[in-house]
Amino acid sequence: MANTAAPPQLAWLTDNKDAIVGPWEVVEFVKLLSNVPPVMDGSAYRETEEVVSKNIGRRKYIETIRGLEEERGLDGKLSGALADEEMQNLARAFWLYLGGRVGFYDRVLKQLESRLDGDHV
């Protein structure tokens, strides 16, 4: 006999530990898929096997979210925000700063300067 029960629907999930208040566009990946933004390490940045693996996982995650958005007729904003590398760098920088990580934070902001100048909409 097949199980025909509808899958459970997740209405809300909140984790207030170390929460940051900011624009929703700075939503970021689960920590398991988070990397230090390359610009923060400057010339010391090295693309390790772990970084490559996380990037592959991030792409698969975005594809999954995008597929679900299309399937459900949603606007695509979540997958778009997750696919926006510059905004993801900013989101990750927030967490790294709170954790006391040393890095070139100004470089993350410089990546976004053209948006502030109105080059991106």
What tens digit of pLDDT does each residue of 49-63 get? 999 999 999 999 999
Domain that holds residue 61: 48-83
Q: Do the domain assignments include residue 99?
A: yes
Same domain, 90 and 107: yes
Q: Do the domain assignments include residue 37?
A: no
Contact 7/71 with Cβ under 8 angstroms? Answer: no
Same domain, 72 and 95: no
Q: Do the domain assignments include residue 88?
A: yes
The structure's pTM equals: 0.71
Q: Do the domain assignments include residue 39?
A: no
Contact 108/93 with Cβ under 8 angstroms? Answer: yes
Q: What residue spans of the chain are helical by DSSP H?
A: 38-41, 49-72, 77-83, 85-98, 105-116
Show contacts of 7-11: CB within 8 Å, 24+ apart: none
Q: Which residue has the higher pLDDT, 12 or 82?
A: 82
